[in-house]
């Protein structure tokens, strides 16, 4: 029962994040679309060429502009939220906010606005935007946003190997975990044969002082900190 309850809670939590991601997408798209088309109408009216909307070429250009200025950025915003909240099965999960958000947007535009280029502006000219256009734009944007929050996971999914540091750099980085050892001091210690924190803990302060030029008192304190680090 406990396992079933936890599983049910995970599903509900996932559904909530998908719903919120979809809502972010369609609200952002609706807002951007309103500003974009209103701005285009004002621009065309200023240059006295509102009639350009009668030509299919102009409508195609507006549709492509909408793809890049509305659907992809809106999908990106929805994807950022979804990718921030959901970490598993991103390839599959990110499809849902894109599709659900697009469906809601298409229903609202079709029922309330009829795909009119601007609300109450170009009523005589309507743009029949293909259904795949907002879906395509939202999916591209959603995956970009989702994997922006989880870019390391994308590398793993593609089979990319994690970045491997050269052995010398790894050793230097390990020594710098000790307070009082910076990159330069770590390099001096490494040149003297002290490559790890364990090596430092087992070293002689007097001998290291001669080999590195670091004051013996300082080395004594560093060796003490190295031993404390290993004991923690």
Distance of alpha carbon 200 from alpha carbon 179, whole angstroms: 13
Pair 135, 98: CB distance under 8 Å: yes
Pair 81, 20: CB distance under 8 Å: yes
Q: What residues does 126 pair with on adjacent strands?
A: 116
**DSSP string for residues in 107-123:** HHIIIIITTBSSTTTST
What tens-digit pLDDT sequence spans the chain (232 residues)? 555 666 788 888 899 999 999 999 989 998 998 899 889 889 988 888 877 767 777 777 887 888 899 999 999 999 999 998 888 888 889 999 999 988 888 788 777 766 543 333 343 344 445 567 778 889 999 999 998 888 766 555 555 555 554 554 444 457 888 888 888 888 888 888 888 888 888 888 888 888 888 898 888 998 888 888 877 5
Predicted pLDDT at 19: 93
Distance of alpha carbon 107 from alpha carbon 115, whole angstroms: 10
Predicted pLDDT at 195: 84
CATH 1.10.150 residue window(s) in the chain: 167-231
What fold is seen in the domain 167-231?
A: DNA polymerase; domain 1 (1.10.150)
Pair 163, 204: CB distance under 8 Å: no
Query: Exposed e or buried b for every residue in 165-204, given b needs 16+ CB within 10 A?
Result: eeeeeebbebbeebeebeeebbbbbbebebbbbebbbebe
Classify 126 as helix, strand or coil: strand
Question: Which residue's structure tokens are 């790894």?
Answer: 170
Predicted pLDDT at 25: 94
């Amino acid at each position: 029962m406990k396992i079933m309850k936890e599983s049910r809670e995970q599903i509900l939590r996932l559904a909530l994040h998908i719903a919120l991601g979809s809502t972010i997408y369609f609200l952002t798209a609706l807002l951007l679309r309103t500003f974009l088309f209103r701005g285009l109408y004002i621009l065309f009216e200023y240059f006295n060429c509102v009639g350009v909307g009668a030509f299919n070429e102009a409508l195609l250009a507006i549709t492509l502009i909408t793809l890049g200025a509305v659907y992809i950025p809106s999908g990106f915003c929805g994807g950022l939220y979804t990718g921030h909240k959901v970490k598993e099965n991103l390839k599959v999960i990110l499809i849902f906010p894109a599709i659900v958000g697009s469906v809601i947007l298409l229903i609202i535009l079709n029922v309330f606005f009829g795909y009119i280029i601007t609300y109450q502006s170009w009523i005589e000219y309507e743009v029949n935007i293909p259904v795949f256009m907002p879906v395509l734009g939202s999916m591209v944007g959603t995956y970009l946003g989702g994997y922006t929050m989880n870019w390391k996971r994308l590398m793993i999914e593609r089979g990319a190997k994690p970045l491997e540091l050269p052995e010398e750099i790894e050793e230097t980085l390990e020594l710098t975990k000790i307070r009082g050892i910076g990159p330069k001091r770590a390099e001096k210690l490494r040149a003297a044969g002290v490559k790890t924190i364990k090596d430092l803990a087992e070293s002689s302060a007097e001998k290291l002082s001669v080999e590195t030029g670091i004051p013996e008192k300082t080395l004594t304190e560093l060796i003490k900190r190295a031993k404390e680090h290993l004991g923690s």
